[in-house]
Structure 1
Amino acid sequence: MVRMIKVPTKTIDPRNPKKNMSNEVVTNRSVTYVNNTTPATITSSELDLSSCYQEDEIVIEIHAAALNPVDFITHQLCNSYIFGKYPKTYSRDYSGVIVKVGKNVDNHWKVGDKVNGMYGHLYGERGTLSHYLILNPAKDVPITHMVEVPKDENDPYDDFTYAAAWPLTFGTAFSVLHDFKKDWNSGSKVLVIGASTSVAYAFIHIAKNYFNIGTVVGVCSKNSIERNKKLGYDYLVPYDEGTIVDNVGKLKESELENEKFDMIFDSVGNHDFFPVIDHFLKPKAEDSFYVTIAGNNKYNYKNITWREFVSLRTILMVLNPFKKYNWRFGKPSPSNNFIEVGNEMIKKGTYKPPIDSVFEFEKYQDALERIMSNRAKGKVVVRMK
């Protein structure tokens, strides 16, 4: 559905050229919704580029934005009585070009700079699936200057597409490894549940190329094992042949000398290991962690409810002071340096953002359907220009 708001035609006064040039009105088209009963739709509004920003803000013309599961979760959990009846904009990852800079903005940011980052918001009127984004670069971090992605002559994507594809997923993976455990080394062992996700893709590259973790075991479908072997996993076990617990247990005995894991990282929503956690995760006193970014159950992104999102099991995980292991919910943390680490790894060629598919802005609904299908292998990106 497309709802267009017509931009009034400006009246030209030939006697006052200065007045004619005082406004720089553009049409800002965005994908928005009001609540969980309204579909995502394109809405348009006027934006005066000469006056729409504060002295500590910049205006970015967005070239590309990436979709993430959090977009669907927040949309389906949005109740107007709680979160208001104003239009709320999709997406958080972006790449684009600075077109306006406030006079109090650090001179690190200039008109014409190509930038990318993650714009954090819950139910914001500003989001990144929009042609223009206004933000304060000192507060709305992370933001960085784009770096060129090493490409071969057959690469179908440009730097704007790649730049929009990685901040949130890379930041989530980096924060899981960086913020909870500080002493990674070649003897460390990690189990990744959901080795085929975009966050897990970043996780394995960071684990091996930045933290030098010795052993990373991945869980995925049997059809994805060959693909994931190329990413750097030391061992892979299927979840669709036998049970996850049995398959990981056999690997642990046969290949890992029965040693337990320093971390179990769940990127899809799983609770199979909790009844036998002592057999797989090192003791709490040894600074081990079970970290999830998806809760304890796999979501159906087309039908998410508060009861499913905040289950009694999850509440007990958070509040139970007697649990014998460290349980954490992982999310990107702008306080660490993940944006700089990502840039360095991209420049070195040790991390290349995975792209599943790219859609033009008018085909945003196809992009939404693709990511909700749970079949995307890499990021789904929407091109604004």
Structure 2
Amino acid sequence: MVTSRAVTFINNSTPATLVKKEIDLDKCHDENQIVIQVYAASLNPVDLLLHSFAYKYVVGSSMKTYSRDYSGVIVKRGSNVDPKWKVGDKVNGMFKHLYGDQGTLSDYLVLDPSQQVAIVHSTAPPDSKYNEFVVSAAWPLVFGTAYTALFNFGQKLGPDSKILVIGASTSVSYALLKIAKEVLGVKTMVGVCSSKSVDYNKKLGYDYLATYDQGPIPESVGKILVGELNNEKFDLIFDSVGGSDFFPIIDRFLKPKSQNSYYLSIAGDNKIKYSEPSLRDAISPWTILRRLNPFKSFNYGLFLVDSQSEYMELGAKMIKEGTYEPLIDSVYPLEEFQQAIEKQKSNTAKGKIVLKIKGDL
């Protein structure tokens, strides 16, 4: 028997709480499952939203758990598990669940790797100031989200493509930038950020930067479009923070629908304040209508990342090659999970917030 800790909640009126329970590692899994001792995990905005929107009359009174990203070591495996997953292997991944009784802010995670396919053998970056498990826990969900935007909507993006990224400073946007540059060879990446973050994002690799705090965003982007881009419109507009500024004038910025251009969002029409999230902001009626309207004049997608092995394999490859390393804002021990959650709520993190589950990392 071992003691397993986990950060849990019941509904949106109960706080995140660290609970302990005894588990038998020999009996907690079936023959199709592996048991992972989690060494590190990270937070994502979706964790805060799911807690905030967990109304008791909808989600019930069962205990629910935090987080999806994880890294760790396999400590048990069932007899039917694919032989490539061995006891002692270092792994990381994105554990897909919705109000489940297992999350990754816990000491142990039990999963079927044939069902939870966003899992890979961990790779370490060539040179990093962070522990390899901390790095491995920081990228699966954001990298998978970026991969989905670039590969899963049927676009053939390449060197001549032009991509506009709204929310250039986010971890998802950075992953998208690196995949677009290093894998697809995209030569024109335009980011939107605050005026204070322009130098920061130039160093990350954006070709051009517009600001959202020095006048209307379309006006700032329009100057780049007319000037540096010679009025060549975008193949893809990717929004990682939420907004609707471009919709009334989308034809000025996005290539025609017939050329398979896309406006993709992971946040909808409104920027969400994670300290006080509003269900109306998160699920705007206009966002729903835009997504479902078959007569809209442009291709639009609002999506969440699904479980896929392809993005995990690509991410591990890029980590090993040194062509991508996730941005990490801060690292906390599991015991300081509340401080980590407050940092995520602040909307000020530049990179992922990682929690060390295994104390001696």
Query: Which stretch shows the higher mean deviation, 278-287 or 335-344?
Result: 335-344
Per the alignment, residue 245 of structure 2 pairs with 272
The aligned residue for residue 59 of structure 2 is 83
Q: Which runs of 5+ in 1 are unaligned?
A: 1-24
Q: Aligned partners of 1:169 and 1:335: how far apart in 2?
A: 13
Aligned residue among 138, 148, 166 for 2:124: 148
1:41 aligns with 2:17: yes
Q: SS of the counterpart of 1:255?
A: coil
1:262 aligns with 2:235: yes
Matches within 5 A, 1:221-260: 221-260=194-233
Q: Rate the CA distance shift 1:44–1:336 in 2: closer, same or farther, 3 A.
A: closer
Moved more, 328-337 or 128-137: 328-337
CA distance in 2, matches of 1:341, 1:333: 15
Matched, 1:297 2:284: no
TM-score, length of structure 2 as denominator length: 0.97
Q: CA deviation at 1:213?
A: 1.2
Aligned identity (percent) is: 54
Q: In the alignment, is residue 62 of structure 1 matched against residue 38 of structure 2?
A: yes
Instruction: Could you tell me which runs of 5 or more consecutive residues in structure 2 were left unpaired when the two chains were aligned.
Output: none
- Helix, strand or coil: the match of 2:319? helix
Question: Which AA in structure 2 matches 1:92?
Answer: R
CA deviation vs aligned residue, 1:127-156 (integer Å, no higher than 9, x gap): 00001100001111211111011115xx2x
The one-character-per-residue Cα deviations of 1:24-49 (angstroms, maximum 9, x if unpaired) are x1111100000010010101111111
Distance 2:235 2:159 in 1: 12
Q: 1:225 to 1:181 in 2, by over 3 A?
A: farther
Once the two structures are TM-superposed, the CA of residue 308 in structure 1 deviates from its matched residue by 2.4
- State the aligned residue count: 358
Give the direction of change, closer, same or farther, for the CA distance of 1:145–1:201 in structure 2 (3 Å limit).
same
Report matched runs for 1:1-385 at 5 Å: 25-151=1-127, 155=129, 157-335=130-308, 337-385=310-358
Q: Is the 8 A contact 2:5 2:21 kept in 1?
A: yes
Work out the CA distance in 2 between the residues paired with 1:112 and 1:335.
Answer: 23
Shift of 1:336: 6.0
Deviations 1:320-357, CA, capped at 9 Å, x for gaps = 22210011013323346111111111111110111110
Distance in 2, Cα, partners of 1:361 & 1:140 = 24
After TM superposition, the score normalised by the length of structure 1 is 0.91
Runs of 4+ that moved beyond 4 A: none
CA distance in 2, matches of 1:368, 1:78: 16
Contact map agreement 1:176 1:331 (CA 8 A) in 2: no
C-alpha separation between the residues in 2 aligned to 1:178 and 1:186? 15
* Contact preservation (8 Å) 1:194, 1:268: yes
Q: Are 1:318 and 1:327, in contact at CA under 8 Å, matched by a contact in 2?
A: yes
SS of the residue 2:20 aligns to: strand
**Bigger radius of gyration among the two:** 1
- Aligned partners of 1:343 and 1:360: how far apart in 2? 25
Distance 1:212 1:182 in 2: 14
Cα distance, 1:106 vs structure 2 = 1.1
Where relative contact order (Cα < 8 A, 6+ residues apart) is larger, the structure is 2
The Cα shift of 1:269 comes to: 0.4
> Which region of structure 1 is more displaced relative to structure 2, 89-98 or 183-192?
183-192
